Amino acid sequence: MSDTYLDLVSRGWGKSAAKKLGLPQPVRLRRTDPASVDQPLVPGPVLVLDDGASQRAADDVAEALLGWHLDVRRDPELAKGRRWGAVVLVVTDAASPAALGGPALALGGVLRRMAPGGRIVTISRRADDATDPSLVAVRQGVDGFLRSLAKELRAGATANGVVLADGVPVLAPSALGALRFFLSARSAFVDGQLLQVLTADGEVPADWTRPLTGRVAVVTGAARGIGAAIVRVLARDGARVVGVDVPAAGDSLSRVMNEVRGSALQLDITAEDAAERILEHVRERYGRLDVVVHNAGILRDKLLANMTEDRWNDLLAVNILAPLRMNETFTDELGAGGRIISLASTSGIAGNRGQTNYATAKAGIIGMTRALAPVVAAAGATANAVAPGFIETDMTARIPPMPRQIARRVNSLQQGGQPVDVAEAIAFLASPQAGGVNGQTLRVCGQNMVGQ
């Protein structure tokens, strides 16, 4: 959907007027094209900083970045006259909050030289894995530092963090995979988020631009909007895709699946035998199933005082009860490298007026994902969720104009996300390099200012 205000302030007099009046000044984000491979990974040289104790880990990270053919520097003074494309702050071995001062201030000293669409990524350790108060304090302190920094950035720059469990090396496949995702244009609308890497599982793909080659994915609700974007991005990354949607959306579904040379299945996912029919279709076409994306969802918004039984029950049937029932079948089918990825929502985290039914279902998705993670881990698979914020779709286009404008501006990037932003996060979680990420909910919301 078009954002007229963003169009207006992206050029000449509109940009100047917004600045003079103190109005939001969103910029066009550096995004990927769902139909083609990545552009350059970052828009300039990469600075790698550390706290001293983490120097060896930072050297390893710098070496990995050099392997991606990036211009890597360890000294802020070595790129004078150029804008930084990214800064990576490694504090995996910091032992006290006092250790953060030096690298944090060094980072602050280069912020004015960040390129538009630049990236800041912290690499730290999980506070939950420590017991020493000082160690817990510094690790938790990175969380507050990163989220606050993300709110200060401008010109489409973002800040995100990779949080490693104790024992997971900085060069583990999922640590590298998360770092690359956060550096790239694939994470355009992911901001202020800290993604936990719990194990050293996963594998580095032979081709970073097509990591899903040879994998078979099922996407529900695939006919339009976010679902169609997921189909396109998974196919671009090499997957063979089966798109599922209700018969009423059959024409749209066929168009999307023909576009990516995938397979269309018209099916109501609330049917008792939905999972079995999906598996039968997948086996007949491709012989295997590797990735399930629970995207299908509906809205039945109403204040609770006006909520009807059919609005409540219909929404829960599609948004949470169907994925729960289908997972009973899919968990037995997925083996090593399998992925279950479900669409949650920031409404399920922070709540939203008029969405008690929707927030119940989406919070349920987050809980389902957390509980499912150890079950599928036994087979070498993972279960994760993606929680979009305000995304420009047909559904959000029906929001009245003023509330829609407010919803667009109340995040750190001051604009709505695009369906491709959600699709890119799902594609990362579906990839082999995300094998150490399990039971997590990754928010794609531009760092919305409500909730967590």
CA distance 28 to 155: 8
Average of per-residue pLDDT values in the chain? 93
pLDDT-derived band at 21 (thresholds 50, 70, 90) equals: confident
Check residue 291 and give its pLDDT. Answer: 98
Is residue 449 over pLDDT 60? no
Is residue 38 over pLDDT 90? no
DSSP string, 33-87: -TTS----SSSS-EEEEE-STTHHHHHHHHHHHHHTT--EESSGGGGTTS-EEEE
Question: Looking at residue 317, what DSSP letter applies?
Answer: I
CA distance 298 to 321: 13
Check residue 79 and give its pLDDT. Answer: 67
> Nearest CA to 226 among 33, 427, 444, 393?
393
| Residue positions annotated with a catalytic role | 358
Write the pLDDT tens digit of every residue in 263-299. 999 999 999 999 999 999 999 999 999 999 999 999 9
Structure-model confidence comparison of residues 334 and 20, the more confident one: 334
- Structural domains in the chain, sorted by start: 1-30 (no CATH), 32-197 (3.40.50.720), 216-444 (3.40.50.720)
Check residue 452 and give its pLDDT. Answer: 44
CA distance 452 to 447: 9
Write the pLDDT tens digit of every residue in 143-199. 999 999 999 999 999 999 999 999 999 999 999 999 999 999 999 999 999 999 999
Residue 386 burial (CB count, 10 A): 29
Burial class of 448 by CB neighbour count within 10 A (0 to 12, 13 to 18, 19+)? buried
Check residue 401 and give its pLDDT. Answer: 78
Q: Give the mean model confidence (pLDDT) for residues 100-105.
A: 96
> Nearest CA to 49 among 15, 77, 7, 82?
77
**pTM of the predicted model, to two decimals?**
0.95
Q: Give the mean model confidence (pLDDT) for residues 387-405.
A: 83
pLDDT-derived band at 1 (thresholds 50, 70, 90) equals: low
Residue 206 burial (CB count, 10 A): 9
> Nearest CA to 261 among 293, 292, 285, 291?
285
Classify 375 as helix, strand or coil.
helix
Q: Give the mean model confidence (pLDDT) for residues 255-260.
A: 98
Check residue 219 and give its pLDDT. Answer: 98
Check residue 81 and give its pLDDT. Answer: 74
Is residue 15 over pLDDT 70? yes
On whether the CB atoms of residues 168 and 200 are closer than 8 A, the answer is: yes
Is residue 450 over pLDDT 60? no
Token representation of residue 236: 């671009």
Check residue 451 and give its pLDDT. Answer: 40
Write the pLDDT tens digit of every residue in 310-325. 999 999 999 999 999 9
